């Protein structure tokens, strides 16, 4: 199969999933018999940060060659392919805590990128517009730009689900994948990647029973697939709980405005008029706590999310609890 034909086949998956958000995708695993898939994967990842980092066996993408492709295709055909344990290191987070980062070897990085490319064709057309992490044409900047439109927000709920990468339940993820993928060999391949294990900082092998290794090419999209359930949950909350077309007028503002206009009409001294005008302008024109006006906003970037609420405090507290129970 020529590379252009492979690209067209991948785009075919993208088109079908765009047209039907419940489309179930089959015959994916056979794509790994195609040499061009590995070339596309290599070209996609070779310039990324960390592309040249080596795995536990010392190999990196620097060793990419035709022999690799031949070996990978042969191991895919009989399903003998087995990812090697990752090399790991600890890096500091902005909050002072440490985060484990994993480094697969060169061949495994190729396979992971190929998996990511296929998954993106399936899921990217159906991901929520509220999700901004590790997606084409989306970034931290697009997430921030969205938050900047949340005018009048009273309460914020900040969520850090960074443990998501370490605690993703593999069976739950498999169940989610089967909703859209009918190819069991492809799902088994993803499961192999998830369970590859790693060597810890003392070079002792550790099994991977849960989690999604950060540093894997396909870990961000697997995280997005897993957390898409949260995005959909929040979309349903937003649709259900958005009420009122506009806030009622703030009674304190209405009173101050009346006194100011009355003073102007009666020709009161300029000092009094100026004082009343200042009092009026310092008050919000609308009632922030109007019980008949409610708005919920949500944005997620990878394992961080932010919710903005225009509603009584009790509602925000209740919503926070609902999210905690959902997670």
pLDDT tens, position by position, 32-60: 999 999 999 999 999 887 778 899 998 99
Task: Report yes or no on 300 lying in a domain.
Answer: no
- Dist CA 238 CA 236 (whole Å): 5
**CB within 8 Å of 57: residues ≥ 6 apart:** 84, 105
Task: Report yes or no on 265 lying in a domain.
Answer: no
Task: Report yes or no on 307 lying in a domain.
Answer: no
> Alpha carbon of 300 to those of 54, 109, 165, 308, 324: distances in Å?
31, 26, 15, 12, 15
pLDDT tens digit sequence for 228-267: 999 999 999 999 999 999 888 989 999 999 999 999 999 9
Task: Report yes or no on 258 lying in a domain.
Answer: no
Residues 300-314, mean pLDDT to the nearest whole number = 94
Question: Quick one: pLDDT at residue 164?
Answer: 66
Closest CA relative to residue 215, chosen from 91, 67, 313:
91
Task: Report yes or no on 63 lying in a domain.
Answer: yes
| % residues pLDDT > 90 (the chain) | 73
- How many DSSP H helices and E strands does the chain contain? 12, 7
Domain count, the chain: 1
- Dist CA 159 CA 326 (whole Å): 13
Question: Quick one: pLDDT at residue 90?
Answer: 82
pLDDT-derived band at 154 (thresholds 50, 70, 90) equals very high
Task: Report yes or no on 201 lying in a domain.
Answer: yes
Residue 135 clears pLDDT 80, i.e. is over it: yes
Task: Report yes or no on 264 lying in a domain.
Answer: no
Question: Quick one: pLDDT at residue 263?
Answer: 93
- Is the pTM higher than 0.75? yes
Closest CA relative to residue 170, chosen from 206, 228, 222:
222
Task: Report yes or no on 92 lying in a domain.
Answer: yes
Tell me the residue range of the domain where 218 lies.
Answer: 3-238
How many CB atoms neighbour CB 305 within 10 A? 24
pLDDT-derived band at 143 (thresholds 50, 70, 90) equals very high
């Amino acid at each position: 199969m020529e590379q252009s034909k492979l690209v067209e086949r991948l785009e075919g998956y993208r088109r079908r999933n765009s047209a039907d958000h419940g489309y179930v995708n089959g015959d994916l695993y056979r794509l790994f018999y195609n040499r061009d898939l590995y070339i596309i994967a290599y070209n996609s990842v070779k310039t990324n940060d960390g592309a040249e980092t080596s795995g536990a066996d010392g190999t990196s993408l620097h060793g990419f060659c035709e022999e690799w492709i031949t070996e990978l295709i042969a191991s895919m055909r009989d399903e003998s392919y087995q990812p090697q344990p990752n090399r790991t290191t600890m890096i500091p987070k902005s909050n002072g805590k440490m985060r484990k980062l994993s480094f697969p070897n060169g061949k495994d990085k190729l396979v992971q990128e190929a998996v990511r490319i296929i998954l993106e064709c399936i899921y990217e057309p159906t991901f929520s517009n509220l999700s901004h992490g590790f997606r084409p044409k989306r970034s931290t900047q697009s997430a921030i730009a969205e938050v900047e439109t949340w005018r009048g927000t009273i309460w914020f709920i900040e969520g850090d689900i960074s443990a998501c990468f370490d605690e993703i339940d593999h069976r739950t993820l498999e169940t989610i994948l089967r909703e859209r993928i009918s190819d069991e060999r492809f799902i088994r391949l993803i499961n192999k990647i998830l369970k590859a294990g790693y060597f810890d900082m003392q070079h002792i092998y550790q099994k991977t029973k849960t989690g999604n290794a950060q540093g894997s090419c396909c870990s961000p999209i697997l995280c997005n697939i897993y957390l898409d359930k949260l995005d959909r949950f929040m979309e349903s909350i937003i649709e259900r709980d958005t009420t009122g077309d506009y806030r009622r007028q703030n009674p304190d503002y209405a009173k101050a405005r009346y006194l100011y206009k009355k003073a102007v009409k009666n020709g009161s001294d300029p000092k009094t008029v100026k004082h009343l005008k200042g009092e009026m302008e310092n008050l919000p024109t609308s009632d922030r706590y109007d019980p008949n006006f409610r708005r919920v906003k949500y944005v997620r970037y990878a394992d961080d999310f932010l919710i903005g609420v225009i509603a009584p405090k009790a509602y925000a507290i209740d919503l926070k609890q609902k999210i905690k129970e959902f997670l």
